[in-house]
Structure 1
């Protein structure tokens, strides 16, 4: 899953980026409104963590421009401007959540998980596909009730596929979800990850099909 952090406090921005990256998210970070507005125009994000007091362009203006273009990425406003009228303005403009600084890191992480779950159209924190289970609370997979330890990139790829199980996921969407601007992910690398996951899942009745020229489909094997 891909997250954009928009925060002009460099220390906080670095801390949030490191925190989210350590949880396995692909994270980009910018520090002013115009950079944020340009990036959300050019790239696809699952979640935008948006400060309001930004140089050159207010965070609410960034949000307004996003929603005017039909950008449906989840938006969490994270700001020191915690007055009720500010929260109402942000929510009315299309924000999905609002946290006032200072904040509890554990609550922030929980809200991120909740927003990403809602973004994927999931009501429950536990997603099951046959013998495969994903617990989004700790982002942990299990097969036949046994915890599966996966390398970070394979885990991130499987998470994307599980959250869209039964649907073909385009390669381009996979690259967008798994990489930040500083990362590279080739088609060959994706094929290798898919091949490893397929070998692991197939004995448990989970199929991972390649749909040529389009992407991949995760489903219960027939």
Structure 2
């Protein structure tokens, strides 16, 4: 899952980023409306967490542009402007939820899960290939019925591959699924993650097949 976090306060942004990363979520952080718009145009996001008081304007002004690109994408406003009038304004402007600062990270995660459970964003289907089972909603993996723990990058790579099982996934698509746009990516980092993941999937009768010069394919052996 990939989230666009629009927040200009560095401390708050890092707190939220750390919480989201612990849930195996890729975070693209934007500190202004301009950067947020560029990020929304260059990457596909599953949801947006949007501050209001930004250096170049009110975060609510971004909502119509986000809706043009992805009408059903959940948008949660996170703002110190927490009066009833402000909350009503935010919802009327198109936000799916409005959370006043300060707030509990646990409550934010619960609200994020709630908006992602709506029909247009359902991720609850169980995906199976060979003896491998992946549940996107909970980011859980089982091989022959036994749960296995995967590091975050490997889990994100697996999600990108299994949701496209039987199709070649380009390297660029995988890198976008595994890394945020401001992450430093070593030239062989993705290959290292896939190599470790490949070894773990042998018992599941599933293999990651490299298509030279194009990308990778997940298939049943």
Question: Common fold, TM-score beyond 0.5?
Answer: yes
Give the match for residue 171 of structure 2. 171
- TM-score, with normalisation over the residues of structure 1? 0.77
Give the match for residue 149 of structure 2. 149
**How far 1:152 sits from its partner (Å)?**
2.7
Cα distance in 2 for residues equivalent to 1:120 and 1:205 = 32
Give the match for residue 83 of structure 1. 87
Unmatched 5+ stretches in structure 2: none
Contact kept in structure 1, 2:130 and 2:220, CA below 8 Å:
yes
Please list the CA deviations of residues 187-221 of structure 1 after superposition, one character each: whole Å capped at 9, or x if unmatched: 53322322332232233222322233322222333
1:31 pairs with 2:35: no
| Cα gap change, 1:72 to 1:23, in 2 (>3 Å) | same
Cα distance in 2 for residues equivalent to 1:116 and 1:164 = 20
Give the match for residue 101 of structure 1. 100
Unmatched 5+ stretches in structure 1: 92-96
**How far 1:62 sits from its partner (Å)?**
1.7
Cα distance in 2 for residues equivalent to 1:148 and 1:62 = 40
Give the match for residue 94 of structure 1. none
Give the match for residue 132 of structure 2. 132
**How far 1:175 sits from its partner (Å)?**
1.0
Contact kept in structure 1, 2:3 and 2:46, CA below 8 Å:
yes
Contact kept in structure 2, 1:45 and 1:73, CA below 8 Å:
no
Please list the CA deviations of residues 145-179 of structure 1 after superposition, one character each: whole Å capped at 9, or x if unmatched: 11212233222211222233343322101111211
Give the match for residue 55 of structure 2. 55
Task: Judge which range, 70-79 or 11-20, deviates more.
Answer: 70-79
**How far 1:107 sits from its partner (Å)?**
3.9
The DSSP-based 3-state class of the residue aligned with 2:213 is coil
What is the count of residue pairs matched by the alignment? 215
Cα distance in 2 for residues equivalent to 1:83 and 1:122 = 26
Please report the RMSD computed on the Cα atoms of aligned residues, expressed in angstroms: 3.1
Cα distance in 2 for residues equivalent to 1:135 and 1:152 = 15
Cα distance in 1 for residues equivalent to 2:121 and 2:39 = 24
Contact kept in structure 1, 2:7 and 2:51, CA below 8 Å:
yes
